[in-house]
Amino acid sequence: MLPASRFVRLPSFAVEGERSVTFPDAFVAAGVATGVKKRGKLDLGILCSRRPTVSAATFTSNAAAAAPVRLTRETGACDRLQAVVVNAGNANACTGKDGLADAARMRLLTAQHLRLPVETVAVASTGVIGAPLEMGKIEPGIAAAAATLKPGGGEHFSQAIRTTDSFPKRGALELHLAEGVVRLGAAAKGCGMISPHMATMLCFVTCDAAVSVEDWRAMLIDAVERSFNRITVDGQESTNDMVVGMANGASAVRLGAAGLGQLAEALEALLLSLAVAMVADGEGATKAVRLTVDGARDAAEAERVARAVADSPLVKTAFFGCDANWGRVVQAAGQALGGDGATAGRKTAAAAMDVLYEDIPVVRGGRPVPLGDGAEERLADIMAQHEIDLHVAVDGGSASTTIYFSDLTHDYVTLNAEYTT
Amino acid sequence: MLPASRFVRLPSFAVEGERSVTFPDAFVAAGVATGVKKRGKLDLGILCSRRPTVSAATFTSNAAAAAPVRLTRETGACDRLQAVVVNAGNANACTGKDGLADAARMRLLTAQHLRLPVETVAVASTGVIGAPLEMGKIEPGIAAAAATLKPGGGEHFSQAIRTTDSFPKRGALELHLAEGVVRLGAAAKGCGMISPHMATMLCFVTCDAAVSVEDWRAMLIDAVERSFNRITVDGQESTNDMVVGMANGASAVRLGAAGLGQLAEALEALLLSLAVAMVADGEGATKAVRLTVDGARDAAEAERVARAVADSPLVKTAFFGCDANWGRVVQAAGQALGGDGATAGRKTAAAAMDVLYEDIPVVRGGRPVPLGDGAEERLADIMAQHEIDLHVAVDGGSASTTIYFSDLTHDYVTLNAEYTT
């Protein structure tokens, strides 16, 4: 899967397929250039199932959610979405009632062209915040995309949803199960959790297995929770994040309990590969770090510690500098454990903290571990890797969590300081 | 006061004095070079009142608190501290039981030289994490500092507590009150909330007014809450933060209710001037922003919104780039308003958000405000200022808060990526 990451394990019953949302049977897609993006870049895509589906969707929890998020979440049939229309280059966020009307118009036109009920069409947008959609370009774009839908259209669709991503994020798996062969496909975009004028995290998932809407929803939400909800580039949640998954049963393979478990496992691997790709492609990023926190008193404490370390600019710059600066890891974890006004904290916890980079312990029981023969060189090698395992053990319980994060670099500052409105 | 900041207002009854902790009567101080810092830099200071005091202290809430913090907090007489001993260059953090013993030894030696009960001596440290204190250098340093204590020693003391600060942070006020004249002095250090191998926020406050310990403690805690607890450079709370305030009554001026109120006002102005100086001197910082959030449902929500905006790397890089990128402000505020697992969030709030840079509204009711004649130029001028007022109004309540933050720059990344252990 793209990119090759040792953080992702392909299930034994899965083989990679043509990396496309149209890899599963009876899905069609298209991507066109409307002129919203410059230089003729593809910027509007439609993805559609030729058959009715079961579906599920997750959305940003940002209170400044964009118009397409609000429209799809609040007036859509999220359990039987059959098509999505996506535009890139304009997020249709902070656009008020006119923005909601534009999103509804995008949905209506797409539904009319596809001859689907409006509520079965999801709308997603990504790009500049606060600018009105250029509907004079979007409307003919929808017509053009609807007219060019085809089984091999997944690649154009994937290109059309990109903004500042340096490479397309898509994947597909063919699953050889006892019940038969089913396929999964996915296309995603995102390289900051957000860079509000030109980014967002979107993902569209297709599947041709025959599954119930309850099973599909449960496995999609679970897979999102274990993939996209476990990454951070800069701690910033977009106004436009959306994941839509559609399963159309076109394989005619109905899954039993074992097959459902395998599909869930494969779905998680697929989404995790795309999520890790977003971290690796994080704005300015040179490294992806997998942080495991364990020994926490409860899940909330594990999460606080993980986010505190993963979002600490001091920890992130140290990784950029290839410096195993464990003092910053202990400080950030200690800050999270100390709590704030809203969360009850601990008075002292440093005494029982362990920190490891890969297999090298650098802190045990809150104190530095003298580096033995060769350990210094091994640590330097580890810090030069593109993917690094970081392990923080606190004490007091058995709750654990894992999170993936990128480093903080000059290129991040350049990209975000020099990008002007 | 240093630095001159329009965010700080000097009370009419106050005039600036010699910027030193020994400006108030009957305080003596010294700073010496122990050899822990290179090139003969001062790195150990003692500050002492010649008379008994009332005192108060506040400490980091970091669960990985350093040995001197734990010693002073847990075994000191924080209401009658009469001296502080501070070393710079080594934080005595993550040093386990040996570190606690070293901190206790620093306190014992200082108390012996000064002929004070040990529990009336506070110990503070700042510098490298995880390295044992070089007691062979510290012990003679304490003897040397104790032997050179003098009324004019505040400047040496102020130099001895610095690490990477680019300028000393100290101030003093003479208050002309109905009851008589009293003096305040303060010395602080800090240019990141933390940069764990070479920083921390420390502040020592002296006063020669005669006040009760309850009044002094209340006004010190309140002033810290409104100054040091309202700043952020990188959102990272040190393992070693400490504020100690001592009032010795040497002026023989006992304050009534009005005078106490005036002293509290002056104390807050003094500490705020030092806090704003830390932001201005934040690692790599080019700007200090005063963010006011109002209209929140409660104090906790106001705080979440303020911290989310102030610590957003996207907002901070935009200020570095002189870009009034309000989309990032709305996104960060929306993320905080949306809540997370631990805090109940709002579904939508963008519709009612206002954003102003100084007096220029750029968002009203969640939508961009068309910039009128000259507003674009005015906005560019504002973004070029060293101190900028940013105002975010949400809706739903009347809670408000103010926070001061720095921008995120290439120099921050350089300082923290290239500084290796």
Catalytic residue positions of B?
200
To test the contact with chain A by mutation, choose from B309, B335, B364 the residue with the greatest count of A C-beta atoms within 10 A, namely B335
Residues B62, A335: C-beta atoms closer than 8 Å: yes
List C-alpha distances in Å: B131 to A321, A370, B87, B90, B418.
21, 11, 14, 7, 20
Residues A321, B418: C-beta atoms closer than 8 Å: yes
Question: Which of A7 and A87 is assigned the larger pLDDT?
Answer: A87
For residue B200, what is the nearest residue in chain A, using CA coordinates? Answer: A331
Minimal Cα–Cα distance from A363 to chain B, Å? 9
Residues B62, A417: C-beta atoms closer than 8 Å: no
DSSP per-residue string spanning A262-331: HHHHHHHHHHHHHHHHHHHTSTT---EEEEEEEEESSHHHHHHHHHHHHT-HHHHHHHHTT---HHHHHH
Show residues of chain B in contact with A333, CB under 8 Å.
Answer: 63-64
Q: What single-letter DSSP state applies at residue B340? A: -
The string of pLDDT tens digits covering residues A257-304 is 999 999 999 999 998 888 888 888 888 899 999 999 999 999 999 999
Contact by Cβ (8 Å): B196, B250: no
How far is A265 from A273, CA to CA, in rounded Å?
Answer: 12
Residues B313, A363: C-beta atoms closer than 8 Å: no
How far is B45 from B37, CA to CA, in rounded Å?
Answer: 13
Residue-level pLDDT at B71? 95
* Count of A-B CB contacts under 8 Å: 273
Show residues of chain A in contact with B303, CB under 8 Å.
Answer: 341
Question: Which of B60 and A133 is assigned the larger pLDDT?
Answer: A133
Contact by Cβ (8 Å): B166, B248: no
The string of pLDDT tens digits covering residues A236-256 is 777 788 889 999 999 999 999
The string of pLDDT tens digits covering residues A112-128 is 999 999 999 999 999 88
Each residue's pLDDT expressed in tens, for chain B with a length of 421 residues:
555 788 888 899 999 999 899 999 999 999 999 999 989 999 999 999 999 999 999 888 888 889 999 999 998 889 999 999 999 999 998 898 999 999 999 999 999 999 999 999 999 999 888 889 999 999 999 999 999 999 999 999 999 998 878 888 899 999 999 999 999 999 988 876 443 333 467 889 999 999 999 999 999 999 998 888 888 878 777 778 888 999 999 999 999 999 999 999 999 999 888 888 888 888 889 999 999 999 999 999 999 999 999 999 999 999 999 999 998 899 899 989 986 544 556 665 555 899 999 999 999 988 889 888 888 899 999 999 999 999 999 988 999 999 999 999 999 898 888 764 4
What kind and span of H or E run contains B15? strand B14-16
% of chain B surpassing 70 pLDDT: 93
Q: What are the structure tokens assigned to B404, written together?
A: 């001061």
Q: Which pairing describes strands B169-177 and B14-16: parallel, antiparallel, or unpaired?
A: antiparallel
For residue B309, what is the nearest residue in chain A, using CA coordinates? Answer: A236
Residue A197 scores a pLDDT above 50: no
Residue-level pLDDT at A352? 80
Q: What is the CATH number of domain B288-418?
A: 3.10.20.340
Q: Is the dihedral of CA B378, B380, B386, B390 positive or negative?
A: positive
What single letter denotes the amino acid at residue B9? Answer: R
For residue A414, what is the nearest residue in chain B, using CA coordinates? Answer: B410
To test the contact with chain B by mutation, choose from A128, A346, A416 the residue with the greatest count of B C-beta atoms within 10 A, namely A416
How far is A137 from A209, CA to CA, in rounded Å?
Answer: 36
Residues A342, B345: C-beta atoms closer than 8 Å: no
Q: What is the mean pLDDT of residues A217-234?
A: 88
How far is A47 from A31, CA to CA, in rounded Å?
Answer: 9
Minimal Cα–Cα distance from A199 to chain B, Å? 11
Q: What are the structure tokens assigned to B407, written together?
A: 């921008």
Pick A331's closest partner by Cβ from B194, B366, B367. B194
Q: What fold does the segment set A14-280 form as a domain?
A: L-amino peptidase D-ALA esterase/amidase (3.60.70)
Pick A421's closest partner by Cβ from B325, B333, B367. B325
Residues B239, A349: C-beta atoms closer than 8 Å: no
Residue-level pLDDT at B348? 58
Catalytic residue positions of A?
200
The string of pLDDT tens digits covering residues A384-393 is 999 999 999 9
For residue B61, what is the nearest residue in chain A, using CA coordinates? Answer: A338
Q: Which pairing describes strands B231-232 and B202-207: parallel, antiparallel, or unpaired?
A: unpaired
The 3-state DSSP composition of chain A as helix, strand, coil percent (nearest 5) reads: 35, 25, 40
Residue-level pLDDT at A5? 87
To test the contact with chain B by mutation, choose from A335, A364, A392 the residue with the greatest count of B C-beta atoms within 10 A, namely A335
Pick B64's closest partner by Cβ from A234, A353, A417. A353
Could you tell me which of B74, B27, B71 has the C-alpha nearest to residue B53? B27
To test the contact with chain B by mutation, choose from A60, A61, A62 the residue with the greatest count of B C-beta atoms within 10 A, namely A62
Question: Which of A307 and B165 is assigned the larger pLDDT?
Answer: A307
Show residues of chain A in contact with B367, CB under 8 Å.
Answer: 94-96, 130
Residue entry with tokens 């091994």: A378
Mean predicted lDDT score pLDDT of chain A: 89
Residue entry with tokens 């921050």: B412
Contact by Cβ (8 Å): A30, A146: yes
Q: What are the structure tokens assigned to A297, written together?
A: 């008193």
Residue A194 scores a pLDDT above 50: no
The strand order across the sheet containing A54-59 reads A14-16, A169-177, A180-189, A202-207, A242-247, A54-59
Residues B331, A65: C-beta atoms closer than 8 Å: no
The string of pLDDT tens digits covering residues A35-70 is 999 899 999 999 999 999 999 998 888 888 899 999
Residues A350, B61: C-beta atoms closer than 8 Å: no
For residue A100, what is the nearest residue in chain B, using CA coordinates? Answer: B351
Minimal Cα–Cα distance from B319 to chain A, Å? 7
How far is B97 from B108, CA to CA, in rounded Å?
Answer: 16
Residue-level pLDDT at B341? 46
Residues A93, B327: C-beta atoms closer than 8 Å: yes
For residue A366, what is the nearest residue in chain B, using CA coordinates? Answer: B94
Could you tell me which of A227, A251, A90 has the C-alpha nearest to residue A161? A90
Show residues of chain A in contact with B318, CB under 8 Å.
Answer: 416-417
Q: For the stretch A306-339, what's the b/e string if a residue is b when 16 or more beta carbons lie within 10 angstroms of its beta carbon?
A: bbbbbbbbbbbbbbbbbbbbbbbbbbbbbbbbbb
For residue B130, what is the nearest residue in chain A, using CA coordinates? Answer: A368
Could you tell me which of B71, B85, B82, B283 has the C-alpha nearest to residue B192? B283
Residue-level pLDDT at B421? 40
Task: For residue B374, count CB atoms less than 10 angstroms from its CB and return exposed for 0-12, middle for 13-18, buried for 19 or more.
Answer: exposed
Per-residue pLDDT band for A340 (boundaries 50, 70, 90) equals low
Show residues of chain B in contact with A62, CB under 8 Å.
Answer: 331, 334-335, 338
The string of pLDDT tens digits covering residues A138-186 is 999 999 999 999 999 999 999 999 887 888 889 999 999 999 999 999 9
The strand order across the sheet containing B387-393 reads B231-232, B399-406, B288-296, B387-393, B354-357, B360-364, B367-368
How far is B231 from B279, CA to CA, in rounded Å?
Answer: 7
Residue entry with tokens 């808060």: B401
Pick A416's closest partner by Cβ from B317, B365, B414. B317
Residue A341 scores a pLDDT above 70: no
**What distance, in Å, lies between the first and last C-alpha atoms of chain A?**
35
Minimal Cα–Cα distance from B178 to chain A, Å? 38
To test the contact with chain B by mutation, choose from A331, A354, A401 the residue with the greatest count of B C-beta atoms within 10 A, namely A331
How far is B396 from A22, CA to CA, in rounded Å?
Answer: 45
Q: Is the dihedral of CA B96, B101, B104, B106 positive or negative?
A: negative
Minimal Cα–Cα distance from B160 to chain A, Å? 23
Minimal Cα–Cα distance from A93 to chain B, Å? 9
How far is B273 from A404, CA to CA, in rounded Å?
Answer: 39
Q: What are the structure tokens assigned to B398, written together?
A: 């009347």
How far is B420 from B396, CA to CA, in rounded Å?
Answer: 47
Question: Which of A345 and B88 is assigned the larger pLDDT?
Answer: B88
How far is A392 from A327, CA to CA, in rounded Å?
Answer: 12
Pick B349's closest partner by Cβ from A63, A349, A365. A63
What single letter denotes the amino acid at residue B333? Answer: A
Q: SS3 letters for B73-141?
A: HHHCCCCCCCEEEEEEEECCCCCHHHHHHHHHHHHHHHHHHHCCCHHHEEEEEEEECCCCCCHHHHHHH
Show residues of chain B in contact with A304, CB under 8 Å.
Answer: 342
For residue B417, what is the nearest residue in chain A, using CA coordinates? Answer: A321
What kind and span of H or E run contains A414? helix A410-418
Pick A335's closest partner by Cβ from B93, B237, B326. B237
Residue-level pLDDT at B185? 93
Residue-level pLDDT at B197? 37
Residue A308 scores a pLDDT above 70: yes
Pick B349's closest partner by Cβ from A64, A318, A417. A64
pTM of the model: 0.85
Phi, psi of A272 (to 5 degrees): -65, -35
Residue-level pLDDT at B396? 86
Cβ contacts of residue A81 below 8 Å, gap of 6+? A53, A55, A57, A120, A121, A122, A244, A246
Show residues of chain B in contact with A301, CB under 8 Å.
Answer: none
Per-residue pLDDT band for A345 (boundaries 50, 70, 90) equals low
Q: Which pairing describes strands A354-357 and A387-393: parallel, antiparallel, or unpaired?
A: antiparallel
Residues B314, A129: C-beta atoms closer than 8 Å: no
How far is B222 from A174, CA to CA, in rounded Å?
Answer: 63
Domain residue spans in chain A?
Answer: 14-280, 288-418
Pick A62's closest partner by Cβ from B237, B318, B335. B335
